[in-house]
Amino acid sequence: MHVEAVELRVIALPMVSPFVAAHGTVSTRTAVIIRLLGGEDEGWGECAALPEPTYSEEFVDGAYLALQEQLVPRLLAAGGTLTATDLSSAFADVIGHPMAKASIELALLDAQGRRDSIALTQILAPHSPGPSQHVPAGVAIGLLATPEDLAAEVSARVAEGYGRIKIKIAPGRDIDFIRAARNATGASIELCADANGAYVLDDAKTLAELDAFGLSYIEQPLAADDLLNHAELARRISTRICLDESLTSATVTQEALDSGACSVVCVKAPRFGSWLEAASILDHCAGLGIDAWVGGMLDCGIGRAANIALAAHPGATLTGDIAATSRFFTEDICAPFTVSGPRGSGTIDVPVGPGLGIAIDAATLSKLTIRTDTVRL
């Protein structure tokens, strides 16, 4: 694609209910949306950065500034016909900002798919015998006030069709809450816990109590930079450890696996700064026989479509954070994604149209936009 202009927006989507995790609460999902324009081509991307820098150092306003003043000018200055694989050289001198970089790459991949009439699923898994038509539906549930509240929420989600339930936990809000969740799901539903780095190694005895509930894994129990203690924790508990925030590249992912810091991998393309690298990590995990799944970031429609496409990769062996639009928002900038199927075995359709396979609702996009700028050559 020959990029001639880049349209940047911040949109604001009120959440159906506040989403609470150890790293903070999100009540309104603001997000950066990017649109690349060039001749008859266009491509859409979404930056996964959250409103505040509590999950990672990136946040909405900072990502917008990084895109507007640093990344987009470099993209335009590169000139010529650009593909997603050209971005590593175009951004070689920019340290960090992986989520902002990934949003541009996604827009280029969308443009490539639109131009060549290829779905994003095929771009991310070119050697797959054929793209999946559906992916299993998985949902994350934030911290709630009481175990009884959590049990009611879990029961409602299972009834909607979700076959994997992920529960946010934190010190003092763990054992009784997971027990209530397991009682609500029964043994047939996959259950896992996500700590978002809220514990320390001295909490190993508490975390070992979770072994009794048949969890698929505990996600990110310790701090993101603490691979050694994750490896030690893995020796002290029976439940598998999955890493999320710790994994920032293919190299770090390999180090985590080699050290025993984790045995399950959460793949979040925005955290790696590249959807193509995320797909390569799924390839690598598949080759090693390592379970992996696709994580979400309270995504709006563009990011949700991309995550669903990535979750269709054959290396995504476990159900990911692939939830219906209505789980978080009453409206979005594209048609909503829905869960279909019986209790505990619901699925979400994979977009099969060119690129992201979605159509942007221009009227809703305009209504939800709170800031916009266009950068041109």
Categorise residue 374: left if φ over 0, alpha if ψ from -120 to 50, beta otherwise: beta
Active site residue 168: yes
Strand ranges (E), the chain: 5-21, 24-38, 41-47, 134-136, 138-141, 164-168, 190-194, 218-219, 241-243, 264-267, 291-294, 347-349, 369-376
Active site residue 166: no
239 is written with which tokens?
């439940």
Surface-to-core class of residue 274, CB atoms within 10 Å of its CB (0-12 exposed, 13-18 middle, 19+ buried): buried
The residues, ordered by sequence, that sit 6+ positions from 79 with a Cβ below 8 Å of its Cβ are none
CA–CA gap between residue 325 and residue 314 (Å, rounded): 23
Q: Residue 358: which of 282, 305, 298 has the closest Cα?
A: 305
Residue 310 near residue 124, CB atoms below 8 Å: yes
174 is written with which tokens?
């763990």
Query: Any idea of the CA torsion for 145, 150, 152, 156, to the nearest 10 degrees?
Result: 130
Q: Name the catalytic one among 101, 168, 205, 367.
A: 168
What is the set of active-site residues?
Answer: 168, 268
